[in-house]
Amino acid sequence: MSDALQQARHHFSQGIEAVEAGRLAEAEQQFAQALHFAPDRPSILTNLGVVRVRLGRCAEALPLLERAAGQETDNLEAWVHLGMARAALGQLAAALGAFDHALAQRADIAQAWVHRGSALRELGRHPEAAASFERAIALGADDDLVRYYLASVRSGESPAAPPRAYVQDLFDGYADGFEAHLQSLDYQAHRQLVQGLLARCAPPWQGVLDLGCGTGWVGRELRRAAPGPSCGTVTGIDLSSRMLAQARALGGYDELLQADIGEWLAQAPGAGARWQIAFAADVFIYVGAIDAVLRDLRACLRPGGWLAFSVEALADAEGDFRVRPSLRYAHSEAYIRRLAGAHGWQVQAIEHGPIRNDQREPVAGMYAFLQSAGTP
């Protein structure tokens, strides 16, 4: 055995150990070293490509997986991850081809059916996507997650909320490019909510609560529009630790808490309410049923407190809320008004207008301004 091949095998073995221990960055380094000594080995190409897909670096993974799949047409791991890389890069038709190639050889790969369904969903081929998701469920894929995907492409009742792990993973993975992405979408919910509330309730305010604060767009808009101590203490809450790290670095908050907003609100003591104002900008699109949020939030605010939030608009005839193929929820105005009345809120205004762009088209939304039905 040549020295180069011995070196390749050593680094490959170290890479496998690192993968099994969850040390993906180390695994990538080891596989890259192995590839240096054995540039054409499909096993090395595959493992390095898979690790880069898992690290979210699909553009770098793509040529490796294409080489591995081209050399071994029966390399199912390479073909499935090639489909995943292509899908992440927006090459949906090519991704579908990779998944179909893998499934033609072995039809019981549950995750391949999940990813195939997701590609079909994004292509707008919803009946086919539903069939793929149903096949994945039958093969033992994550039931809660795949049923959430299934609801997005099939008419009927939507789940009350997405799986918590889905939301946390989504935004942890989204954090690094979140600021630039929102700018590219002409995102405006934060500005519309802050300006709309300023027009209805002039500062100074006795504390602001930003639910689902993300990287902190509301907090920074508040500091710009109402500088100094006008807002009181500004507290941000978010499930994603990586989003909170961005918000902390960019400023705008006196306090940042990592928590699920529903769980946190249910435990927050109403008697010690610290906030006069609450915002939820583009948050309920990842919540679904907001009955408990409106009930518990009112107890956390001072008497006469305000809530300003945005949602994607759903026609009243379509029901209360529905998860859409975008995997985001839309809510109806009738639902918001009914919940407000049930939980002691006065609807001061519901304004219709775009929230952001999607596929270069404006997303129809609503901006709701509710006031607690109490004496300030």
Residue 109 sits in a domain of what CATH number?
A: 1.25.40.10
57 and 138 assigned to the same domain: yes
Average pLDDT over residues 304-318: 95
Helix (H) or strand (E) holding 86: helix 76-88
Q: pLDDT at residue 182 above 90?
A: no
69 and 126 assigned to the same domain: yes
Band of residue 229 on the pLDDT scale cut at 50, 70, 90: confident
186 and 273 assigned to the same domain: yes
Q: Record the pTM.
A: 0.88
Q: How far apart are CA 312 and CA 374, in angstroms?
A: 28
Residue 178: the pLDDT is 57
Is there a domain that residue 185 lies in?
yes
The Cβ of residue 270 has, within 10 Å, a number of other Cβ atoms equal to: 12
Domain that holds residue 184: 168-372
What mean pLDDT, rounded, does the chain reach? Answer: 91
Residue 112: the pLDDT is 97
The residue whose two tokens read 């499909």 is 42
Residue 362: the pLDDT is 87
Q: Each residue of 181-220: b (16+ CB within 10 Å) or e? A: ebeeeebbbbebbbebbbeebebebbbbbbbbbbbbbbbb
| Coil vs helix vs strand at 209 | strand
Percent of the chain with pLDDT over 90: 74
Is there a domain that residue 163 lies in?
no
Average pLDDT over residues 216-234: 88
pLDDT digits (tens, 9 = 90+) for 185-206: 667 888 999 999 999 999 999 9
42 and 15 assigned to the same domain: yes
Q: Each residue of 47-61: b (16+ CB within 10 Å) or e? A: bbbbbbbbeeebeeb
Is there a domain that residue 162 lies in?
no
Band of residue 88 on the pLDDT scale cut at 50, 70, 90: very high
Q: pLDDT at residue 184 above 60?
A: no
Residue 169: the pLDDT is 80
Tally the domains of the chain. Answer: 2
Q: Which of 336, 309, 301 is nearest to 320 (CA)?
A: 336
Residue 56: the pLDDT is 87
